[in-house]
Structure 1
Amino acid sequence: MANVAVVYYSSTGNVYELARAVVDGAESAGAEVRFRRARELAPEEAIQSNEAWAKHVEETKDVPVAQSEDLEWADAFAFGTPTRYGNVSAQLKQFIDAQGGLWAQGLLADKAASVFTSASTPHGGQEGTLLSMYAIFAHWGSIIVPTGYTSDEINAIGNPYGVSSTDGGVTGNGGPSKEELAAARYLGQRLAQKAALLAA
């Protein structure tokens, strides 16, 4: 059995839904999972200016905020973020940037790692975002676990780098499709299985 940390940032809920599906997949493979969100950094006026954002912040206020100890505990981690100009959101990146202490001690090395993302348009930078997170894992010495074209679920959404979702609207009201959620569950399952092999 592996310990898996699923750490995400979501403003309007799309990445949150993907993250929940990743958790389900990892648990189905026998993993113990910590579900954590990155700390919100946006000013309150920005959040309140978007009804979907404000609603999601209120609905997920009880999700624990990610801490360094969650990554130290984990045998594997899956990071999820909305695409921000083809890159990682500031909120998740701030959490990642704060892990220098663990990195310096080698405590992030040899752990399985994978990623998932969402954007409002089909070519909104999803692949760039996923690949940018893999560069972080390379610096950490983590074992990158891409989805690859290894299942029908991934073939259905067509992204070998990780799981990506297209919301279909900047308001964030569309949400991931059933195919994207199935791919996210597969990602969690695959990550947990590879982590268990590494931990053994």
Structure 2
Amino acid sequence: MAKPKITVLFYSTYGTNHTVASAAAEAAEAAGAEVRLRRVKETAPTEIVEGQDAWKAQLEKMQDIPEVSADDMEWADGYFLSSPTRYGVVASQMRAFIDTLGPLWQEGKLANKTFTASTSANTSHGGQETTLQSLYITAMHWGCILVPPGYADPVKFEDNGNPYGFSMQAGEFTDLHRRSVGYQARRLVEMTQKLVA
């Protein structure tokens, strides 16, 4: 049986979504997927990034993770995206990459793949659900098959209960968070396996 191929794609300013994506990649591999962990290119001006020690340190910390390419999107059978919330929608860095995918979309090379998403914000009500919904709207344009976590596992009643996708207030990544992300990644792999079998 072929292993489902999953691209775990993230953008992270201060580290939260890097941590989430790494946990998702680990869980997807443990569930039997072939995984590519990829980061979105930083598009903020260098002087802005270097003017904030935490931002600069996080960018340096991720240098061993390849930047995502269109090939990583075409290669995959499914996607796990993780991005911060910015003003109630996805961070502009993630959006900038998404906006380069028009040629693949026009050729139908993003269609019929599974898609799930996660996010974080500095506050508990900072637009996390609208960010996830905006990502899912993009996935619908691509022709993807949405795989939100729903309430199909008891962990969703223990974490913040967001049925659209894992979300958290930026900060400490707890064992409960890891279990919730792990469930969402496993669900993605299981649904993708059914499609590629």
- TM-score category by the smaller chain? over 0.9
Map of 2:8 onto structure 1: 6
Q: Is the 8 A contact 1:13 1:175 kept in 2?
A: no
The residue number in structure 2 matching 1:160 is 163
Output the amino acid matched with 2:162: N
TM-superposed CA distance for 1:177, in Å, is: 2.6
Q: Partner of 2:96 in structure 1?
A: 94
Q: Does 1:140 align with 2:142?
A: yes
* Structure 2 residue 187 is matched with structure 1 residue 181: no
Query: C-alpha deviations, 1:84-111, integer Å up to 9, x for none?
Result: 0110111111111111111111111110
Q: What's the TM-score, normalizing by structure 2?
A: 0.96
Aligned residues: 194
Gaps of at least 5 residues in structure 1 are: 168-173
What does residue 23 of structure 2 align with?
21
Q: Report the Cα offset of residue 46 of structure 1.
A: 1.3
Residue identity in the other structure for 1:21: A
| Aligned counterpart for 2:37 among listed residues 35, 45, 56 | 35
Q: TM-score, normalised by structure 1?
A: 0.94
Q: d(CA) in 1 for partners of 2:98 and 2:21? A: 17
Q: Per chain length, whose mean CA-contact separation is higher, i.e. which structure has more relative contact order (CA < 8 Å, sep 6+)?
A: 1
Distance in 2, matches of 1:175 and 1:72, equals 33
Root mean square deviation of aligned Cα: 0.9
Partners of 1:101 and 1:181 lie apart in 2 by 35
CA distance in 1, matches of 2:55, 2:157: 31
CA contact (8 A) 1:72 1:108 kept: yes
SS of residue in 1 equivalent to 2:97: helix
Q: Is the counterpart of residue 194 in structure 1 residue 191 in structure 2?
A: yes
Give the distance between the partners of 1:129 and 1:105, measured in 2 at CA. Answer: 26
Please show how residues 45-56 of structure 1 align to structure 2 within 5 Å.
45-56=47-58
Q: Which amino acid aligns with 1:41?
A: T
Q: Which runs of 5+ in 2 are unaligned?
A: none
1:44 pairs, out of 31, 43, 46, with: 46
Which secondary structure state, in structure 1, belongs to the residue aligned with residue 36 of structure 2?
A: strand
Alignment identity in percent?
Answer: 41
How far the C-alpha of 1:197 sits from its partner, in A, is 0.5
Please state whether the residue corresponding to 1:149 is helix, strand or coil: coil
Distance 2:95 2:108 in 1: 19
Counterpart secondary structure, 1:113: strand
Q: 1:58, 1:22 → 2: CA distance?
A: 21
Code of the residue aligned with 1:179 in structure 2: it is L
Structure 1 residue 59: Cα displacement: 0.8
Deviation at 1:71, TM superposition (A): 0.8
Question: 1:80-91 residue pairs with structure 2 within 5 A?
Answer: 80-91=82-93
Deviates more, 1:41-50 or 1:52-61: 41-50
| Post-superposition offset of 1:47 | 1.1
Letter in 2 for 1:183: S
Aligned 8 A contact 1:166 1:176 in 2: no
Structure 1 segment 52-91 matched on structure 2, within 5 A: 52-91=54-93
State whether residues 21 and 182 of structure 1, in contact with CA within 8 Å, keep that contact through their aligned partners in structure 2. no
